[in-house]
Every structure is written in C-alpha cells, then in structure tokens.
Amino acid sequence: MHKINLITLGCPKNTVDSERMHRQLEVNGYTLTDDPEEADLIVVNTCGFIQPAKEESIATVLEAADYKTAGVCKGVIVTGCLAERYQADLQTELTEADLIIGLAGERDIVAHCDRLLGKAPRKAARGDAERHLLTPRHWAYLRISDGCDRMCTFCAIPGIRGVNRSERIETLCAEAQRMVENGVKEIALVAQDTMRYGADIYGRPRLTDLLRELIGIDGLAWIRLLYTYPTGWREDLIDLLATQEKLCAYVDMPVQHASDPILKAMNRGTTQAGMRKLIRRLRERVPGLTLRSSVIVGFPGEDEGHFRELTDFVEDIRFNRLVGFLYSHEDGTPAGNLEDDVTDSEKRDRLDRVMMRQTSISAEINEAYVGRRLQVLIDKPSDDPEFDFIGRTRMDAPEIDTEVFVTGPAAVGEFVEVEITEALEYDLIGRAVQPTPLLDIGTA
C-alpha cells in the first residue's frame, strides 16, 4: 500500500482543504504518514498570501524534493494557494516539483497520485463531504464559505480563491453534526469574510440563521467566530453573542489600520469612527467580550502621523488579542501598483513599537484573571514537566491565542475548572480545581 505525506501550510481554510484531500486518499486505498522518509509521494499544500508565506512554501517544497534521493519518495505534488497563484511560473522554475496543481486540481488528488506512481488513474470514490480531521479530536474548523467579494487593495485572496461561495446551511449543519458525533466539542467557523456568509446563495447574509442552527446541535459546547469584517454587523448577531452560552463571546475582527486615509487607500469601507462605534456597541451589549484583531504597518503612504493614529487606537481600544504584520507588496493587487515607500527598517520598527505596546496591554489584562476560576478546555499534555496540561478558555481560539498551563487532574478533550495563579504577558498559569464533594450525611 503506497504512503502519502501531506504537508499543510497557511491558514485554517487550507487545513480544511488538506482534510478533504486526506479523506479522499484514505478512502481510495492510500496510507497517510507523517514521516516523509517513508512516503512514496509528498503533497505540499502551500500558502501564497504574503511574501514570507511564499518563501516558506518554496523552502518546504525544496526540502520535500530532497526525499527523492534521501528516502523512497517518487514524486512531489505542489498544490494550494501558491500553486493556484503562480502555476505557470512554478511549472517553469520549480523543477524540483513533479506536479503543480491549482485548487481545483485537489478534487482529483487520487488520480494525480495514481499517475505519478505509474498506476492507471482511477475514478476515485468521492470524499468531498467527509474530512479526516487534522486537528485534535475535540475541536475542528467549519469552513462556511470560500473566496471573497471584498476588494481590499493589499489582498491577493480574491485573485486566488475567487468570489465568495457559501455552503448551504443544511450542508454545514450535517457536517457539524457528524463532527460532534465523533467527539468534537468546539467548532471554529472560518471563511475569508464570515459576515458575507450566505449572500451569494440566499440573496442576503445569513450568518445568524446558520449560528442558530448550530447552537441547536446537542453535544456542541463552544462555537467560535473567526474572520468577521468590521462592516456588515447587525443587531441580531450582537444579540446572539450576548445571550447564547454556546456562542463564545469572542470576536475576531481584523481592523488592519486606524488612520482614515490609510483605511481609504486599503479600500476597507469603514473609518476609525465607525470601528470605534461598533466596538463600543459590542462591549456594551456582550458580557465578557474578547476582542481579537490584526493590523498592518508600512502600507504605501503611511507616514509617522498615520502610524501614531494606529498606536493611539490600539492604546484606546485595548484589544484582548492583537497580531501585527509588515505590509507585503503583492503582485496583482491594486496596492501592488503603488510605490512601496516605507522602508523595511521603518516597517520593522513600527511593528516592534505597536506590538511592544500590545504586550503591555495583554499583560495588564491577564493580571486581572489571577485568583479567578475559569473553564478551560484541555488541548494536550504539557511538554514542560512543571505543568501537566495545556488548554484554552472560551476567550481563546485554538492555535493562535493565549494558552493556559495547568497543573492537576484533567484529561485531553475535557473541560476543567482552573484557578489562575499567575499571569504571563500572553499566557496564564493555573491549577485544576476538584469540585467539592457533597457531605454524606446519611440517615440515623
């Protein structure tokens, strides 16, 4: 039986693509292995979003190609966003790869593997509706749509993934039900723009309708929203966040900048005042809201005044979680036609400055949790002998946010009450708290 090593780079949406390819390969007789040395073929699912991701993807492909001489590997397949974006160029320049396929080609991954292994390509049994989860058993991503209708001038995604294409509510609920039946307790909804969910197939956004259906699934404990655009928010969604226990009071809302001239140049469709109004409304209405965001520094035309507006905004808003990126000049984007007039050193300096401030904010926010008891979902055993487990609160998305280092009795995939004993800049430390047993009074 031939073995395939499937390497996944990039965002959660890429993870979902890999999970579907994994399942197709599996149901059609291939064995998946994590060891590239024993793989007959290596499939690299690449990211092509920004320059560092592209460089990582190329380096990973070159490393994979080395196994054609160092292992039993007979070929390397390159797919994903980098392959979709630069397929023609890569076919000429990346000769180390044996096959380069775009995103549509992933549906025929079994036939592609068959060909490279010298077998007659089969009409493979389809596993599109099934996924082999690559996340831990207790949590998973649910990709509700692909592509994007927004035309942010810095972003290459619409050119790679196309326009927004939503899955139907009944399809997503059936997928979520299957995952819950297999042990999933937390689902994170992902899309390029979750706020636009359903507009393409229902004539209007229907994110709230989808969430109501997911909330009704027995056994599903946490539902988390990722990638919410700052425009498109409605009162019914805010009401749902404020009142439904299963829906984590967690908003991942990339703002990207806070200076109106830069927001306009980015074609974000909003203003600093508009974002402040929305954030104020969310915090007024949603108890215990956790707000996560991202910013880009060094966009063309950003001067020190524009950057100061951004840092003042970060200071005022006090995001619970924040990640920063250096602007990357991307081919085929409107901003790619502008002069990249902020030097690399200026970009790095600005990123350091905004993230240093965020580090202080995060430490101050975390300190307030010391002495409190929080519900924690245990993700994995700890490699550090000082702790027993690592988990997350409902305030934290998997793989990207704060972790809780736990001592005491717990189990992976289970919820445990944790008393927070120490706060770090980004993480928390605590001990599992055993419920107090009832007194056995009995009868005389």
- Taking all residues of the chain, what is their mean pLDDT, rounded to a whole number? 91
pLDDT score of 103:
86
Angle between helix axes 12-27 and 109-116 (nearest 10 degrees) is: 60
Tokens at residue 233, please?
């928010």
Helix, strand, coil percentages in the chain from 3-state DSSP, rounded to 5: 40, 20, 40
Please give the torsion angle defined by the CA atoms of residues 100, 105, 109 and 110, in that order, rounded to the nearest 10 degrees.
Answer: -120
* DSSP character at residue 30: -
Residue 77 has pLDDT above 60, yes or no: yes
pLDDT score of 177:
95
Percentage of the chain surpassing pLDDT 70?
96
Give kind and range of the element (H or E) at residue 415.
strand 415-423
Lowest average pLDDT, out of 83-87, 149-153, 182-186, goes to: 83-87
Residue 49 has pLDDT above 90, yes or no: no
- CA 223/CA 132 separation, integer angstroms: 20
* Residue burial 52-79, b: 16+ Cβ < 10 Å; e: rest: ebbeebbebbeebbebeeebebbbbbbb
pLDDT band at 87; cut points 50, 70, 90: confident
Percentage of the chain surpassing pLDDT 90?
68
36 residue type, one letter: P
Tokens at residue 323, please?
């990640």
pLDDT band at 69; cut points 50, 70, 90: confident
Residue 113 has pLDDT above 60, yes or no: yes
Lowest average pLDDT, out of 48-52, 211-215, 223-227, goes to: 48-52
pLDDT band at 439; cut points 50, 70, 90: low
Residue 127 has pLDDT above 80, yes or no: no
Number of H helices, E strands in the chain: 14, 18
Q: Are 416 and 406 in contact (CB under 8 A)?
A: yes
Report pLDDT digits (tens) over 315-335: 999 999 999 999 998 888 999
pLDDT score of 124:
67
pLDDT band at 129; cut points 50, 70, 90: low
Tokens at residue 196, please?
């636009």
152 residue type, one letter: C
Q: Half-sphere exposure (CA, 13 Å, Cβ side) for 60?
A: 25
Report pLDDT digits (tens) over 239-260: 999 999 999 999 999 999 999 9
Cα separation values, 14 from 39, 47, 120, 423, 435, Å? 21, 8, 28, 33, 40
Residue 307 has pLDDT above 70, yes or no: yes
pTM for this prediction = 0.89
Rg from Cα positions in the chain? 23
- CA 83/CA 89 separation, integer angstroms: 9
- CA 255/CA 292 separation, integer angstroms: 10
Residue 444 has pLDDT above 50, yes or no: no
Residue 396: closest CA among 288, 285, 279? 288
- Secondary structure class of 254 (helix, strand, coil): coil
Tokens at residue 425, please?
């800049």
Residue 161 has pLDDT above 80, yes or no: yes
Residue 125 has pLDDT above 90, yes or no: no
The single residue listed with the structure tokens 């966040």 is 241
Report pLDDT digits (tens) over 374-426: 999 999 999 999 999 999 999 999 988 889 999 999 999 999 999 999 999 99
Lowest average pLDDT, out of 6-10, 315-319, 382-386, 436-440, goes to: 436-440
Q: Across 216-306, where does the E strand assignment appear?
A: 222-225, 247-252, 290-297
Give the domains, in start order, of the chain with CATH numbers.
3-116 (3.40.50.12160), 139-367 (3.80.30.20), 373-432 (2.40.50.140)
Chain centroid offset of residue 122 CA: 33
pLDDT score of 86:
84
pLDDT score of 441:
56
- CA 426/CA 428 separation, integer angstroms: 7
- CA 169/CA 200 separation, integer angstroms: 13
Q: Are 90 and 68 in contact (CB under 8 A)?
A: no
Q: Are 47 and 82 in contact (CB under 8 A)?
A: yes
